[in-house]
Amino acid sequence: MSQPIVPKFEDLDIDRLAKLTGKIVVLVPATGTMDVGTRRVNKLMKGTLKNFISRTEFEEMKTGAATTFNAPLGMDASGVVLLKSAARPSVDHLRDLGATAAKAIGHSDVHLLLAKPYKVEELLFGLSLRRYQFTYHKTADDKPYGAVTALTNKPAETAAAYSNLDAVAQGVFFTRDLVNEPANVLTTSDFADRLVALKDLGVTVKVLEEADMEKLGMGSLLSVGHGSKSPTKLVCMEWNGGGDEPPFALVGKGVVFDTGGISLKPGAGMEDMTMDMGGAGVVAGVMKTLALRKAKANIVGIVGLVENMPDALSTRPGDVVKSMKGDTIEVINTDAEGRLVLADALWYCQETYNPTGIIDLATLTGAIIIGLGHDNAGVFSNDDTLSANFLKAADVEQEGAWRMPLGAGYDKLIESRIADIKNVGGRAAGSITAAQFLQRFVKPDMPWIHLDIAGVASVKSETSFAPKGATGWGVKALNRLIADKYEA
């Protein structure tokens, strides 16, 4: 699995700067004031930095941007990267600066000169997230990233502050790796095995097999995998870091590949459906983060792992299946399978764990992309407090999220003539009717959020903190929510 950077933390000894190799990163605020480390670098470079700062090029340089001075005279370093920072950089700004630095330094070793009392750990966090790469299936030698050293006045304190952020980065990387994996590698069994391995971190993991689910009456979830040779599984992960209180729950859709089943998708773009397990991937990443940072909370993560394939045994459009709750579902479109997975996973979660609240995540609808694009996930909730808490956490962590409506009027669109409910309601309000379907499997007094992450789980172009592909969206926000609202 991919690993974030493991930075070294050392005292800022300006007498060593001339002999440092790789690239050196300095921060200069818009005022042009240089700290002690930057002043020494400027002296070694015969005034090059001061001369640049005094010119209009620096004045016109955007705050947060980088300029690189290659092969600086008087130094062994291959380059000096100047980051123009705000005078009083916020956490968001420091993370952005870290991501900018990651792109500017490439694969080089790097020394970060951070003499001022900034939150150095936040800059390192941004750098670490942006340095992710997924190259396991490339046969050519891929150049590894170089070492990262933070030179600060308080290295021990900075290292301690970074430890929790490193746990978040590891969770994000775990999610990205899962979402980026091709479906012939990340089968339902392989996915389950990777989650079982979280036992090494102290997570309790239970895997329900098809026979177990049949006994529980999970006809909705099981119907999705009838056409696949890969066995359907339900994996339950428990992190018990709190007291005796009931847990908060995360539930994820884990469709490792989605052909659409009998309602076959168009061939163009179907290769992207390896990411249809993105919701389960986020749940896995959060559970890993919580375990690594020893969160003082009780959290359960449940993921339904299944593959949706066309076959003689596949569920057909028009079939009626029975959920664990007991409600019958007319399957109008077998490509609306994620809600069938989540229906039973949600009900099992409530019946087994009686959580204080639930957030489910799924790459559920293309309709949410039409509505919100790739900048925001859709947030559907029956609880204003839980919704507000999550939206605040997402905003703090720079993860786009936008609340969408729910309402009884939408239920009319998914009424079935022959069953209790049907799994699609037509093109109108497609993401909303999907959420209304899921709400049917949430008990009336249960605080609940449904996150439709179809537009944000994996993207075609790079983002601020990730190369193109899997983003790991949601790990940071959910970890923040748990830290702020559910830890003892």
Assess whether 336 and 298 both reside in one domain: yes
Assess whether 257 and 127 both reside in one domain: no
List phi, psi (to 5°) of 53: -65, -30
Among all chains, which residue has been given the structure tokens 């559920």?
A: 364
SS3 category, 3? coil
pLDDT tens per residue, range 428-438: 999 999 999 99
Assess whether 137 and 175 both reside in one domain: no
Active-site residue among 23, 253, 339, 422? 339
pLDDT tens per residue, range 287-296: 999 999 999 9
Mean model confidence pLDDT for the chain? 97
pTM for the complete prediction? 0.97
Does residue 163 belong to any structural domain of this protein? no
pLDDT tens per residue, range 210-238: 999 999 999 999 999 999 999 999 999 99
The Cα–Cα gap between 275 and 261 comes to: 16
- The amino acid at residue 163 is S
- The amino acid at residue 380 is F
Last residue of a domain, one of 104, 122, 153: 153
What is residue 96's predicted lDDT score, i.e. its pLDDT? 97
Q: Which has the closest alpha carbon to 207: 190, 220, 186? A: 190
Give me the number of domains the chain comprises: 2
Active-site residue among 39, 116, 154, 265? 265
Last residue of a domain, one of 88, 118, 153: 153
Last residue of a domain, one of 153, 179, 211: 153
Query: What range defines the domain where residue 460 resides?
Result: 169-485
The Cα–Cα gap between 289 and 175 comes to: 10
What is residue 117's predicted lDDT score, i.e. its pLDDT? 67
Assess whether 148 and 180 both reside in one domain: no
Assess whether 177 and 147 both reside in one domain: no
Pairing of strands 233-240, 248-258: unpaired
pLDDT tens per residue, range 81-116: 999 999 999 999 999 999 999 999 999 999 999 887
Q: How confident is the model at residue 254 (pLDDT cuts 50, 70, 90)?
A: very high
**Termini Cα distance of the chain:** 31
Annotation marks residue 294 as catalytic: no
Does residue 135 belong to any structural domain of this protein? yes
The enclosing domain of 42 has a CATH number of 3.40.220.10
- The amino acid at residue 247 is P
Annotation marks residue 143 as catalytic: no
On the question of pLDDT at 477 being above 80, the answer is yes
What is residue 488's predicted lDDT score, i.e. its pLDDT? 76
Assess whether 149 and 287 both reside in one domain: no
Does residue 164 belong to any structural domain of this protein? no
